Structure 1
């Protein structure tokens, strides 16, 4: 009797039992893992010459995983970060399989040894205050879509929110009375509260007046009333940056994304002298090392620190090793 293929059942159990029920993973994590496995299965099926339905667990070998990661980085022109995210999703599945069915533990061990790839650490690209103002001036606020884009970008800069955190925003998460603030839900479903400028609150109120939403409905929606997607925001932002670059030439050399506003918030808070632990709480960082990355990026802060130190004063006194002739003579005898 032909042995049935356990792979489909294991993959289904991984998503339904492990991620959703036991780990309580967010919908964004589940979708990210889903996309990884879609790409991986299609990649293997194409290399094997059969359909996805014929793939066995043994086909998802460490060699195939390495080939897929190479394709992700070079064939699809993904970043090293994207490659490592794909690998994390694959590793998670094989860790689950190793616990679920020890029969495949040898294969799981081989896949789990595939290493993450280190990427060069560079200073984050952030926007100067003048560049932020130039971009915010581009949306046509006389239209609903333009007003929405202006409020969204202003909110990103004020709160330092990740794009999906902002797009998930509902009116019930905003405190419109003083002290004005917003409740955000970040990675790992961690909750944090960020203060809001009165100007940002006023913009949000005006948007809700023009486009009323129930307290539990998302504020930022498209022309059809459906929740706005991150890809749509990136597309619109690219248009605004292109227009703003006509008056602010420094924008031409920068790759501006919605996340650039988060970088700008962090760096500008550092420049304003805000304590680094406060900034960590503001941005929802788990590690203080992540926040310190922004402290290192601000050139103006470095310049002011250098001015406080000052240049070393010139001295005509020779160093001690030159003054002590006997010591030099002794060293020569060694």
Structure 2
């Protein structure tokens, strides 16, 4: 990078001082932002026929950011949601810079003006109860790996946890005595408490008995005792879904990921009549609008609501507005 340019110092301060120290961002957020900036810097350097080490802050212009976002969505085949996440990481940096150096406000404002792209809103995808049961029946619980997978998937369905929240689970976050619950740490290190079914508690106790873990050690680990990764869970889940689809054909047309269990938990809680604000707290949503998205998903709930309303009776009497001639005459004069 050019001598005297503030870009290297600002980028380092953004990650070390702002994200890590002042914002206390999670390691997952920091790594996500890091990956965005890696991709952005390489993209801009290639377009300018330069190397990353020679880029300046002026090179990261609004036009380059827009080109990068188009590249991320169209050429890298990313989703609109991924595109917006990339933009959020870039915006966060330029918002930080604008407060650090007033001389750069105009440049920062141009980048900050790059808009978030709207994405189509569709009804959330979820699993039916029989589909969940079929998937949970697949792991071979006689083996340690199969028991671990069964416990993990059961835990995801019980709590509606995000996959990383579940993989970060340690024994000291679980209350095994009544009332049973677990402490989860979600986005922004927000803590929430979720109740546990007695069956889930028994499964966790069985797993810990076969594979003891210290209070601050991760529960879900591989054969080497290392924490499981989300990609590994997705791989194993795909195999279980493939087998379950042999008995439950509806699974063949569905793309199942660990997050599907979170959606299933939300929709099934709605169907059970649980108050939407309770579900919001259960899932750790910041906005109630996010939780309300699940209220429209369950067809069975909609069908029962329609049955309560009943079919309107067709009447034969003349409407009152037609019988009131004087009223109609008065309206005609207006």
* TM-score normalized with structure 1 length: 0.96
CA distance in 1, matches of 2:290, 2:187: 14
1:318: Cα distance to partner? 2.2
1:327: Cα distance to partner? 5.0
- Alignment of 1:307 with 2:307, yes or no, is yes
Aligned positions of 1:276-295 closer than 5 A = 276-295=276-295
**Residue of structure 2 in register with 1:23 after alignment:** 23
Q: Secondary structure at the match of 1:182?
A: strand
1:110: Cα distance to partner? 0.2
Q: Secondary structure at the match of 1:153?
A: helix
Aligned positions of 1:89-238 closer than 5 A = 89-238=89-238
Q: Which runs of 4+ in 1 moved over 3 A?
A: 324-334
Q: Secondary structure at the match of 2:166?
A: helix
Aligned positions of 1:24-39 closer than 5 A = 24-39=24-39
Residue deviations 1:159-181 (CA, integer Å, cap 9, x gap): 11111110000001011111111
Residue deviations 1:107-160 (CA, integer Å, cap 9, x gap): 101000000011111111010100000111111222221111111000000011
Q: CA RMSD in A?
A: 1.5
Residue deviations 1:198-218 (CA, integer Å, cap 9, x gap): 111111111112221111000
CA distance in 1, matches of 2:329, 2:274: 55
Size of the aligned set, in residue pairs, is 333
CA distance in 2, matches of 1:207, 1:3: 57
CA distance in 2, matches of 1:258, 1:331: 62
**Residue of structure 2 in register with 1:252 after alignment:** 252
CA distance in 1, matches of 2:172, 2:135: 28
**Residue of structure 2 in register with 1:74 after alignment:** 74
Please identify, of 232-241 and 128-137, the stretch whose mean Cα deviation from structure 2 is larger.
232-241
Aligned positions of 1:80-91 closer than 5 A = 80-91=80-91
CA distance in 2, matches of 1:91, 1:102: 16
CA distance in 2, matches of 1:307, 1:84: 41
CA distance in 2, matches of 1:3, 1:208: 56
CA distance in 1, matches of 2:109, 2:333: 60
* TM-score normalized with structure 2 length: 0.96
CA distance in 2, matches of 1:94, 1:283: 31
- Extract unaligned runs of 5+ from structure 1: none
CA distance in 1, matches of 2:186, 2:333: 67
1:52: Cα distance to partner? 1.1
**Residue of structure 2 in register with 1:11 after alignment:** 11
CA distance in 1, matches of 2:44, 2:29: 23
Residue deviations 1:245-303 (CA, integer Å, cap 9, x gap): 11111111212111110111111111111122211111111222221111111111111
- Extract unaligned runs of 5+ from structure 2: none
Residue deviations 1:11-54 (CA, integer Å, cap 9, x gap): 11100011111111111111111111011111111111121111
**Residue of structure 1 in register with 2:296 after alignment:** 296
1:322: Cα distance to partner? 2.9
Residue deviations 1:304-324 (CA, integer Å, cap 9, x gap): 111111111110012233333
CA distance in 2, matches of 1:106, 1:211: 58
Q: Secondary structure at the match of 2:296?
A: helix
